[in-house]
C-alpha cells in the first residue's frame, strides 16, 4: 500500500482532497487521521476570505456543484491554530495555497512551506469559484509556468500543481508546469457547471456557476490523467469522483501515483478509511504485491 | 454523533406533501437535544448523491424510536417518502447544536414559533420543556388548512395557536400577525422564545425582538454539503461583535441566539 511521490513516503495512497476535509478537525471526530496516507488541507490565502454568498451547493445526478469561494481563516490563523493542531497526527500534510496575485501565492508558499508538519504544497491554480486568481492562473501555460517557477524559488517543500479540467489542452499546461519545476501534479479540480431553478428561473447557486465534483466527473479525470501521465515524468495525485477501491485502481491504471477523495467524504464521513480497507483487500484478492505496479498499467504494455 | 442504520416502523402522510417517518433502533439511545438534526441518505447509489438534513421531531427512548417530519421537495425526499416498514435508513447524527433548555426553570413561560416544515422540531422541544415544568405556548403557521400538522400533539404540552396565510384554518395571516394580536408589540408574556421556520419569518422575528433583553433562539436552514462543518457550504454571517466572522449552520447551529447571526 505504501507509495512514494516526490520524496514523500505515504503509508497508503489515499488522502482527503483539499476543500473537502477542512483542516481535519471535523473528521477526527469519526476516526484516527493517522489511518490516512496524507491530508490535503483547505486552501489558504494570505488574508481571511469570507467566500461567496449562499446558496453555495447544488446537486446534480452523481455530482455536486459548489461555489464556496475559497473561504478560509487566512494564513496567520492557519499557521497559529490549524497546522499546529494537526501535529498530533503522524500524517503528512499537503498545504493547498491560493491567491489573487503572484505575490499572494509567494507569500503563502514561503511561510507555509517552512512549517515542520507540512510535507508538500499544492498550488491551487484551478479554483473556478473566485473572480481573481484561481483558475485564471491555470488556463494559460505561460502564466501557470511562471507562477510555478516563483513558488519553487521560495518553497522548502515539493510543489504539486493542481490542474483545472476547464482547458482545451491539459497536456500543454501539465508540460509547462513540469518544465517550470513542479514536483508533481494534482488532477483534476472541479468542472465548471451550472443549474437553474425551474420555479424561480434563476441559477440555484448565488454565484451562478460552480465547480462540479463527485462520481459524475470521474471519466473526465481518468481521461485527463491518462493523457497527461504519458507525457510527463512527475507523479500525479488523481482525484475526481473517487468513491471506492475500484475507483482508486482505475485512477492508478490511468497513471496516478496516489489519489484524493473529495465529495465522498460529505456523503460518508468514513469514506477514506473504508476505501483504504477495501483497497488492501482488493490488492490481496487480486495478488497485487505493490500498488505501485499498477501506476500507468492501463497504457504501459 | 455517528453513522447508524435505523429500521423504518412507519412512514405516513400527515399533511399536504408532508410525511412523518418513525425509525427504530438501539442507536436512538444516545443523547439527542431538541433542535438537532439527522443527515439522511435518502436512497442507495449516487443519485441523489448527498445526504439531506432533516430535523428530529420526536424521540422515544423507551421504544428506541425517533420521528422525522419532512416535506417532499425534491428527488431525495421523494425517495424517502417511498420507504416502507422494515426498510433501513442510513443516517448520520445527531448533528448540530439544538435549542438550549438546560437553564430553564419550572414555571417559566416559553413561546414556541414555527412555520411550515419548521414546526417539527418544536414538538420534541415542547415535550422536554413541559417535563421541566415550563409553560409552553406554541404559535404555528402554515400556507393553508391542508398543510397544517402537529396542532394536536403540541396541544398536549400547552396552548396552541394556528394561523394560515389564506385563513382557511385558525387565524388569518402570518405568525407575526398572530403574535401582534396575541401578545401585542410590547409583550411580557414569555421568558424565552424558540423559533424555526422560513427565513422571512425568522427575519421578522429578529427585527421584532432584536432589542428585547429576553432569551430568544432561531433555528436556521441552509443548503448543506457535509453536515459536519467541513465543507463551508451552509454559512451565515455572524453579527457584529461576535468572535466569529461567520457561522456554519450545521455545526455552529442550526439553533442560534437571535442576535448573533445576520439573516441577510
Q: Is A27 helix (H, G, I), strand (E, B) or coil?
A: helix
Give chain B's end-to-end CA distance (angstroms, integer): 30
| pLDDT score for A131 | 67
The nearest CA of chain B is from the CA of A289 a distance in Å of 31
Binding residues of B for FAD: 52-55, 69-71, 76-77
pLDDT of residue A135: 74
DSSP letter (8 states) at residue A72: B
Single pTM value for the model? 0.95
* Two domains, one topology: B2-95 and B109-219: no
Matching residue, cell 478509511: A273
- Does the annotation mark A127 as catalytic? yes
Q: Could you tell me which of B50, B7, B43 has the C-alpha nearest to residue B27?
A: B7
3-state secondary structure of B183: helix
Our CA dihedral for B27, B33, B35, B40, rounded to 10 degrees, sits at -10
Fold exhibited by the domain B2-95: Elongation Factor Tu (Ef-tu); domain 3 (2.40.30)
What DSSP element (H or E) covers B15? strand B2-15
What is the rounded average pLDDT for all residues in chain B? 95
Q: Is residue B185 over pLDDT 60?
A: no
Per-residue pLDDT tens over the stretch A16-27: 999 999 999 999
Q: What percent of chain B has pLDDT over 70?
A: 98
Residue B186 pLDDT greater than 60, yes or no: no
Chain B neighbors of A243, CB-CB under 8 A: 46
What are the tens digits of pLDDT across the range A135-185? 778 899 999 999 999 999 999 999 999 999 999 999 999 999 999 999 999
Cα distance from N-terminal residue to C-terminal residue, chain A: 23
Cell of B222: 441552509
Cβ-contact B217, B96 below 8 angstroms: no
pLDDT at B1: 86
Could you count the other beta carbons within 10 Å of the beta carbon of residue B31?
8
Nearest CA in chain A to B222: A55
pLDDT in tens, B26-38: 999 999 999 999 9
The SS3 call for residue B218 is strand
pLDDT per residue over A180-230, tens digit each? 999 999 999 999 999 999 999 999 999 999 999 999 999 999 999 999 999
Give CATH for domain B109-219. 3.40.50.80
Spatial separation of the C-alpha atoms in residues A209 and A198, rounded to whole Å: 16
Nearest to A29 among B1, B222, B233 (CB): B1
The angle, 0 to 180 degrees and rounded to 10, between the axes of the packed helices A218-229 and A245-254 is 30
The percent of residues above 70 in pLDDT, for chain A, comes to 98
B interface with A, Cβ–Cβ below 8 Å: 1-3, 41, 46-51, 92, 222-237, 245-246, 251, 264
With both helix axes pointing from N to C terminus, report the angle between A245-254 and A271-285 in degrees, rounded to the nearest 10. 70
Partner B contacted by A58 (CB < 8 A): yes
Q: Across the interface, do A26 and B228 touch by the CB < 8 Å criterion?
A: yes
Position B171 scores a pLDDT of: 94
Are A113 and A121 a contacting pair, CB within 8 Å? Answer: yes
Q: Where are the domains of chain B?
A: 2-95, 109-219
* B11: β partners: B21
Annotated binding site of B for [2Fe-2S] cluster: 226, 231, 234, 250
How much is the average pLDDT of B237-262?
A: 93
| pLDDT greater than 70 at residue A63 | yes
Q: What's the rounded Cα separation, in Å, for the pair A230 and A78?
A: 36
Query: Mind listing the pLDDT tens digit for each residue in B76-96?
Result: 999 999 999 999 999 999 999
Residue B199 pLDDT > 90, yes or no?
A: yes
Confidence grade of residue A126 (pLDDT, cut at 50, 70, 90): confident
- ipTM, 2 decimals? 0.94
* Averaged pLDDT, B104-123: 96
Residues A162, A126: contact at Cβ < 8 Å? yes
Are the C-beta atoms of residues A298 and A254 closer than 8 Å to each other?
A: yes
Amino acid at each position: 500500500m505504501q507509495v512514494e511521490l516526490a520524496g514523500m513516503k505515504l503509508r497508503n495512497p489515499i488522502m482527503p482532497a483539499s476543500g473537502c476535509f477542512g483542516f481535519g478537525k471535523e473528521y477526527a471526530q469519526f476516526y484516527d487521521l493517522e489511518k490516512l496516507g496524507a491530508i490535503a488541507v483547505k486552501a489558504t490565502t494570505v488574508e481571511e476570505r469570507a467566500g461567496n454568498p449562499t446558496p453555495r451547493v447544488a446537486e446534480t445526478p452523481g455530482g455536486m456543484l459548489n461555489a464556496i469561494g475559497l473561504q478560509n481563516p487566512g494564513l496567520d490563523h492557519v499557521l497559529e491554530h490549524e497546522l499546529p493542531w494537526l501535529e498530533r497526527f503522524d500524517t503528512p500534510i499537503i498545504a493547498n495555497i491560493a491567491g489573487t496575485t503572484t505575490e499572494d501565492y509567494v507569500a503563502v508558499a514561503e511561510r507555509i512551506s517552512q512549517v515542520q508538519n507540512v510535507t508538500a504544497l499544492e498550488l491551487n491554480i484551478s479554483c473556478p469559484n473566485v473572480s481573481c486568481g484561481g483558475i485564471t492562473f491555470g488556463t494559460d501555460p505561460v502564466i501557470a509556468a511562471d507562477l510555478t517557477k516563483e513558488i519553487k524559488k521560495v518553497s522548502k517543500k515539493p510543489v504539486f500543481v493542481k490542474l483545472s479540467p476547464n482547458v482545451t489542452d491539459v497536456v500543454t499546461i501539465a508540460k509547462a508546469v513540469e518544465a517550470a519545476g513542479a514536483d508533481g501534479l494534482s488532477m483534476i479540480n472541479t468542472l465548471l457547471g451550472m443549474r437553474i431553478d425551474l420555479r424561480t428561473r434563476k441559477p440555484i447557486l448565488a454565484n451562478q456557476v460552480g465547480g462540479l465534483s463527485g462520481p459524475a466527473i470521474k471519466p473526465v479525470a481518468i481521461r485527463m490523467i491518462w493523457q497527461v501521465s504519458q507525457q510527463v515524468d512527475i507523479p500525479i495525485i488523481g482525484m475526481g469522483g473517487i468513491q471506492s477501491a475500484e475507483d482508486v485502481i482505475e485512477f492508478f491504471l490511468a497513471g496516478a501515483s496516489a489519489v484524493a477523495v473529495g465529495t465522498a467524504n460529505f456523503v460518508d464521513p468514513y469514506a477514506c478509511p473504508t476505501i483504504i480497507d477495501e483497497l488492501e483487500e482488493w490488492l490481496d484478492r487480486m495478488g497485487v504485491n505493490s500498488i505501485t505496479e499498477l501506476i500507468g498499467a492501463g497504457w504501459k504494455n | 454523533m455517528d453513522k447508524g442504520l435505523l429500521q423504518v416502523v412507519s412512514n405516513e402522510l400527515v399533511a399536504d406533501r408532508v410525511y412523518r417517518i418513525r425509525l427504530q433502533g438501539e442507536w436512538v439511545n444516545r443523547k439527542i437535544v431538541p433542535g438537532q438534526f439527522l443527515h439522511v441518505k435518502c436512497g442507495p447509489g449516487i443519485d441523489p448523491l448527498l445526504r439531506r438534513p432533516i430535523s428530529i421531531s420526536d424521540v422515544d427512548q423507551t421504544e428506541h424510536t425517533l420521528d422525522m417530519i419532512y416535506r417532499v421537495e425534491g428527488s431525495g425526499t421523494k425517495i424517502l417518502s417511498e420507504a416502507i416498514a422494515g426498510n433501513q435508513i442510513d443516517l448520520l447524527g445527531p448533528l448540530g447544536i439544538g435549542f438550549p433548555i438546560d437553564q430553564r426553570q419550572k414555571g417559566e413561560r416559553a413561546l414556541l414559533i414555527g412555520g411550515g416544515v419548521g414546526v417539527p422540531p418544536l414538538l420534541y422541544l415542547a415535550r422536554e420543556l413541559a417535563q421541566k415544568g415550563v409553560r409552553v405556548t406554541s404559535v404555528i403557521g402554515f400556507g393553508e388548512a391542508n398543510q397544517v400538522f402537529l396542532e394536536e400533539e403540541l396541544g398536549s404540552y400547552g396552548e396552541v395557536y394556528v394561523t394560515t396565510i389564506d385563513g382557511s384554518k385558525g387565524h388569518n395571516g402570518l405568525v407575526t400577525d398572530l403574535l401582534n394580536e396575541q401578545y401585542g408589540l410590547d409583550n411580557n408574556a414569555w421568558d424565552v422564545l424558540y423559533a424555526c421556520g422560513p427565513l422571512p419569518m425568522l427575519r421578522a422575528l429578529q427585527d421584532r425582538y432584536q432589542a428585547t433583553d429576553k432569551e430568544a433562539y432561531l433555528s436556521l436552514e441552509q443548503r448543506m454539503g457535509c453536515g459536519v462543518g467541513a465543507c463551508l457550504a451552509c454559512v451565515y454571517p455572524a453579527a457584529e461583535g461576535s468572535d466569529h466572522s461567520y457561522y456554519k449552520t450545521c455545526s455552529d447551529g442550526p439553533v442560534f441566539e437571535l442576535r448573533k447571526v445576520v439573516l441577510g
